[in-house]
Amino acid sequence: MVDIHFNQALYEACPTGMLAIDEAVRIRWINPALEAMLDLEGNELVGKDKSALPEGLHALFDETDILHLSLNGDGERWLYREVREVADGTDTPLRIHFYQDISSQVLAERENDQLRKKVDDLTITDPLTGMANRKATLQALAAQVTRTRRYGNPLTLGAMRLSHPDLPDTPLPDISILSLAHYLRERLRWADIIGRYENELFLLLMPETSRDDAEKLLQQIIQECREGALSELDGNPNPDLSIGVAAWEKGDDPQRLIQRTLEDL
């Protein structure tokens, strides 16, 4: 014979939040642990169906794994839930919901995501090549364009794209990207800025350089690569390299200069 009083005492002592919903889809009872999680008295919920509760508590009647509850005056709660069906002492079926408060874990994950975003926003180097990433390249180009506007010094932007001649739409392996990056770093001047703008596309900022001189240099690099300068490229001794070059003109902003350079590829 089931000891109803013992079971009730057990539910009340259980540290896990518990809620019973009857056949009429009304709350039959909740235990003290759930009252503490929700910061509500049981008599505010018992006997009520979904329509009789504030909208922020409607999720109590859902059966998803994770509940997001909005509590009046006390922020938000995230609860992990499991559901079991049992019969009470009168053989009436009840659906018992078991809850664990995971609000601290959810908030910690949110904070971690925000911190990761801040770190990403501050990162200026490409993780593979160690060169300037897209963000840093755009910042450097903006600074160079401002300088050129002010003093009238020449500025040329180059672009170099590496691809596999037989598989033009296939991403290249890291070793290929690294080989080109290392060679460009050795081949260009210390004043030039090399940035990995996209996966296989590098932008080359060349201050104090005319368009003709920049194009001549990049053509030489292409010829050297075709003659074996990129011998590290496994299975691709003759990489397909394309270049684009554009010199700053009056009225150019960084995006317009990049657009004209890429159009020349």
pLDDT 10s digits, 202-222: 999 999 999 999 999 999 998
Return the structure tokens found at 208.
């104090």
Question: What's the CA angle centered on 53, arms 51 and 56, to 5 degrees?
Answer: 110
Q: Which of 63-67, 193-197, 219-223 is predicted most confidently? A: 193-197
Which of these ranges, 81-90, 122-131, 196-205, 206-215, has the smallest mean pLDDT? 81-90
For residues 166 and 48, the model is more confident at 48
Range of 1-5, 26-30, 155-159, 180-184 with top mean pLDDT: 155-159
CATH of 123-263, one of 3.30.1330.180, 3.20.20.70, 3.30.70.270, 3.40.50.11540: 3.30.70.270
pTM of the model: 0.59
Helix, strand, coil: what percent of the chain each, to 5?
40, 25, 35
Q: Is 5 exposed, middle or buried (0-12, 13-18, 19+ CB in 10 A)?
A: exposed
Asked if the model's pLDDT at residue 238 lies above 90, the reply is: no
pLDDT value of position 74:
64
Q: What is the dihedral of CA 171, 116, 135, 232, to 10 degrees?
A: -40
Q: Which two tokens stand for residue 204?
A: 């080359």
Neighbours of 47 (CB within 10 A): 13
Over pLDDT 90: what percentage of the chain? Answer: 32
The CA-based dihedral angle spanning residues 76, 81, 83, 88, taken in that order and rounded to the nearest 10 degrees: -60
pLDDT at 14: 81
What one-character-per-residue DSSP string does 219-234 give? HHHHHHIIIIITTTST
Smallest CA-to-CA distance from 211 within 245, 185, 244 is with 245
| Residue pLDDT, tens place only, 4-46 | 454 667 767 788 888 888 888 899 888 898 888 888 888 888 9
Q: In whole angstroms, how far apart are CA 15 and each of 55, 66, 83, 103, 161?
A: 26, 19, 16, 16, 61
Helix (H), strand (E) counts: the chain: 7, 9
In DSSP terms, which residues pair with 100 in a beta bridge? Answer: 80
Domain residue spans in the chain? 4-108, 123-263
pLDDT higher than threshold 60 for residue 236: no
Cα(69)–Cα(81) distance, integer angstroms = 12
**Average pLDDT of the chain to the nearest whole number:** 84
Q: State which amino acid sits at residue 221.
A: I
**What's the CATH architecture for 4-108?**
2-Layer Sandwich (3.30)
